[in-house]
Amino acid sequence: MRSRKLYWTSILMALTAMAVLTVAPGTVAAAGKPEKVTVVYGGSSWIGHYPVWVGIEKGLFKKRGLGVLFQSFYASSGRMGSLVAGDLDVACTGSISAIALMAAGNKGFMAFGTPDSYATVEGVIAREKIKRLEDLKGKKLAVPFASSAHVLVLDLLEQIRLDPEKDLTLVNLQVNEMPAAMASGEIDACAAWTPNFNMLLKMPGNHLLADDTQFSLYKKYQLGPGPDLLVVRKEFAEKYPNTSRLFVEGYFEAVDMLINQPKESAEVLVKLTNLSMEDQMAVQKDIKWIRGAEQKALMLQPGQFVKGMQLLAEFLVKHKQIDAAPAVKDWIAADMVP
């Protein structure tokens, strides 16, 4: 168990060098209000990064004098490792990796918002012969370690009294590798999120065993296993406050566009997700976007989201994934909350 705990912190730096770089189209505007005109953003094809992609494609950052470089990572752990190493300025991350860094005492980043709420675009997908969670006994279940899907799996196994170290084999696999592994028979089930979640469900013989609505904290508090968290490198926010503020404005204008113009947003998002237009629209219908005007109530006063994050940190301690729960409120960048 000690090695698993070490994994949560060491992987954050170890994966930094493995990041896959993609630069999205965008033009750096002439110097103006921003102190720095280029923002390096850490993302992926996951829903929490939709606003940045839409903001780039629709010129919402450009009109504020910002050029945003979109770097893609397969996992939040690698993204957070790059952020605290100084290679990224801003990112959206699964909160598990952020909490792991908080627990390690890393003060190199701060959180300033949560963009979405989801529950039905992440879950455990299995072959046809596996009818219920209990049938996972003796099987191979793939999951990206140190992720929300990993936490979901640990919780579901606890609910049905299966030991993840004795009763089945957990295979550490990135979500983009899961369709091939399922097709080849290398694994019997997997825990994934969109867009691979949708691709896996479309494969013949696969079906959904459980999604985030069956997570124990979701049942009690409507809190998923790894809610999305907007984070900024602390040094960047302190050195470039105007740039940081303008980025936040552009991000949440893009959130408004996703709510008000879903089809126009989907037309540019398919380039990021590689989903069909039909599937992209279906994914977006499953997302509850959280506007900028709602962020202060969630992050500061009364701060229900931060309280939920604290419960999640305590959940990770219970499952021996971190040694002690950090005080999550100490990592909130109040000045950046819109």
Instruction: Compute the C-alpha angle 21/53/152, nearest 5°.
Output: 80
Query: Residue 20 gets which letter from DSSP?
Result: B
Give the residue among 146, 189, 147, 128 at the shortest CA–CA distance from 46: 147
Residues in Cβ contact with 48 at an 8 Å cutoff, skipping those fewer than 6 apart: 92, 93, 115, 116, 228, 230
Q: Where are the alpha helices (DSSP H) in 136-212?
A: 148-159, 178-184, 196-202
With a cut of 50, which residues of the chain have pLDDT below it?
Answer: 1-4, 6-32
How far apart CA 48 and CA 332 sit, in angstroms, is 18
pLDDT confidence of residue 138: 98
pLDDT at 3: 39
User: Burial of 38 by CB count in 10 Å (0-12 exposed, 13-18 middle, 19+ buried)?
Assistant: middle
pLDDT reported for residue 220: 84
pLDDT at 320: 87
The pLDDT score that the predictor gives to residue 246 is 97
pTM of this prediction? 0.83
End-to-end CA distance of the chain: 40
Place of tokens 């963009």: 115
Length of the chain counted residue by residue: 338
Domains of the chain: 2-118+227-336 (3.40.190.10), 122-221 (3.40.190.10)
- Residues 10-22 have pLDDT tens digits of 444 443 333 333 3
Two tokens, residue 269: 């998002």
